[in-house]
Amino acid sequence: MTTTDYRKDATAIEQLTPQQFAVTQNDATEPPFRNEFWDNHDDGIYVDIVSGEPLFSSTDKFDSGSGWPSFTRPIEPAHLVKKVDRSFWSVRTEVRSAAGDSHLGHLFDDGPAAEGGMRYCINSAALRFVPAAELESQGYGDYRSLFTTKES
C-alpha cells in the first residue's frame, strides 16, 4: 500500500456537522437505525472523516441488527487504536482512528464466528464512504483490488 501521511486536520474538524463533532471529538454515540451507513450495501471503503485514513471495507461489512455499521475487521489494523472504555458502568473496548484520534465506536466479540467472531460497531458520523468506482480519483486506488474479481 502507498504510504500516506494521515493526520488530524483542523480544517476537517471545522467542517464537521454537530453530530460528527460530538461523535469523533467528544466520544458520543449516534442513534441506531438513524444514521447514514447502517444500511448501506454499496461497494467501497469507509475512511475517517477527520484524517481520511482508510478504516473498513464494504467487503467486511455485515448486518448485525444493532442499527450501526458493523464490520468483521479493519482494512489496515494499524489505522485503529483500541482503548479500555469504563463508561456506563461496564468495560468495553473503544475503537479510535490512529492518525485522526477520532472516536469511531466499539469492538465486541459477538460477530460472525466464521469471520473471526469480532464486531466493529462503528458510528456513521465518524466515517466518510468512498464508492469503489471513485477509489482512484479520491486517492485510494490501492484498495481497488478488494472489489475486482479475477477472471478464470
The shares of helix, strand and coil residues in the chain, as percent rounded to the nearest 5, are 25, 25, 50
* CA angle (60 as vertex; 88, 13 as ends), nearest 5: 55
Cell of 129: 464512504
Sequence-ordered strand ranges (E) for 5-145:
44-48, 54-57, 61-62, 70-71, 80-85, 92-97, 103-108, 119-122, 127-131
Helix (H, G, I), strand (E, B) or coil at 131: strand
Is 97 designated active site? no
Catalytic annotation, pick one of 121, 122, 125, 135 = 121
The residue to which cell 463533532 is assigned = 21
Burial string for 29-62 (b: 16+ CB within 10 Å, else e) reads bbeeeebebbeeeeebbbbbbbbbbbbbbbbbbe
The catalytic residues are 121
